[in-house]
Structure 1
Amino acid sequence: MQPLPLRLNPGDDLRLSLEAVLAWHRVSAAFVLQGIGSLSVAQLRLAGAAQPTEIGGDLAILTLAGSLALDGAHLHMSLADAQGRVVGGHVAPGCIVRTTAEILLALLPDHEFTRELDAGSGYPKLVVRPRSTSLPPP
C-alpha cells in the first residue's frame, strides 16, 4: 500500500479528479481512506434513489471514503450545510470543490479492481484480483 495525500482546488470535480489519479499513477486499485473540505455544489445519489440529487450552497465535507478502479469509483460522502444539517450518499460527478478538498488515498499497486454487474442487485460490484501485467508498474 502506498499512501497518497491529495489537495484538490476550487472548481475541481471531486469524483472525476479522484478517478484521474489512478491513470496518472499507473495503478488500477485504490481506496479513499478519508477526505475533508468544502463543496459549492454536490451531486449525491441518496439511498434507494435512481438518480443523484443536486445540493447547493456552502457545504462542508465531513467524511469521504470509498474505492477507486479504472472503470469507476464507489464513493460515499457525508456533508453538512450552513445550518449544520447533515446528508450523505453516493458521490456522483458534479461535486465541485469550493475552497479545498484534502484527501488521503491508499494506492494498491499489487491489485486490480474492476466493477462487474451483479445480477442479484443490478449494480456493478467490486471485483478484486491480483495485478496482472496489463499495466506497467508505477
Structure 2
Amino acid sequence: MEAHALRLNPGDDLRGVLDAALKARGAEAAFVVSGIGSLRGARIRYAGVESAAVLDGDLEILTLSGTLSPDGAHLHISVSDAVGQVRGGHVAPGCIVRTTAEILIAWLPEWRFAREHDPATGYPELVPRPNT
C-alpha cells in the first residue's frame, strides 16, 4: 500500500478529480481513506434513490471515503451546511470544491478492483482481485 495526499482547488469536481487521479497513475485499486474541505454545492445520491439530490450553498466536507476502480468510484460523503445540518450519501458528479479539499488516498498496486453486476443486490458491486 502506498499513501498519497491530494489537494483539490476551487472549482474542481471532487469525483472527477479522483477518477482522473486513478487514471493518471495507471492504478487499478485505491481507497479514499479520508477527506475534508469545502464545497460550493453538491450532488449526493441518498440510499434507495435513483437520482442525486442537489444541495446548494456552502458546505463543509465532514467525511469522505470509498473505493476507486477503473470501473468507477464508489464514494460516500457527509457534509454540513451553514446551520450545521448534516446530509450524506453517494458522491455524484457535481460536488464542486469551494476553497479546498484535502484527500488521503491509499493506492493498492497489488490489487485490481472491478465492479460486476451482483444478482443479489441488482447493482455493480466491488470485486477485489490480486493483480497478477
- TM normalised by structure 1 equals 0.94
Structure 2 Cα separation of the partners of residues 27 and 122 of structure 1:
27
Are residues 1:88 and 2:82 paired?
A: no
Indicate the residue corresponding to 2:53 in structure 1. Answer: 53
Aligned-partner residue type, residue 124 of structure 1: P
Taking only the aligned residue pairs, the percentage that are identical comes to: 59
Partner deviation per Cα, 1:10-30 (whole Å, 9 max, x = no partner)? 000000110111111111100
3-state SS of paired residue (2:56): strand
User: Which residue of 1 is the match for residue 44 of structure 2?
Assistant: 44
Q: In structure 1, what is the Cα distance between the partners aligned to 2:54 and 2:16?
A: 16
| 2:79 partner letter | L
Please state which structure has a larger fraction of its residues in strand: 1
Instruction: Tell me how far 1:125 sits from its aligned partner.
Output: 0.2
Aligned to 2:10: 10
Q: Report how many residues are paired.
A: 132
- What one-letter code is carried by the residue in structure 2 that aligns with 1:120? A
Unpaired stretches in structure 2, ≥5 consecutive residues: none
Deviation for aligned residue 1:121 = 1.1
State the 4+ residue runs in structure 1 displaced beyond 2 angstroms: none
Q: Unaligned 5+ residue runs, structure 1?
A: 133-138
Identify the residue that residue 75 of structure 1 maps to in structure 2: 75
Tell me, in whole angstroms, the C-alpha distance in 1 between the residues paired with 2:103 and 2:76: 13
Displacement of 1:107: 0.3
Partners of 1:50 and 1:23 in 2: CA distance = 26
Is 1:126 paired with 2:123? no
Please give the secondary structure, in 1, of the residue aligned with 2:35: strand
Give the TM-score normalised by the residue count of structure 2: 0.98
Q: CA deviation at 1:127?
A: 0.4
Q: Which residue of 1 aligns with 2:115?
A: 115
- 1:135 aligned partner: none
**Secondary structure in 1 matching 2:12:** coil
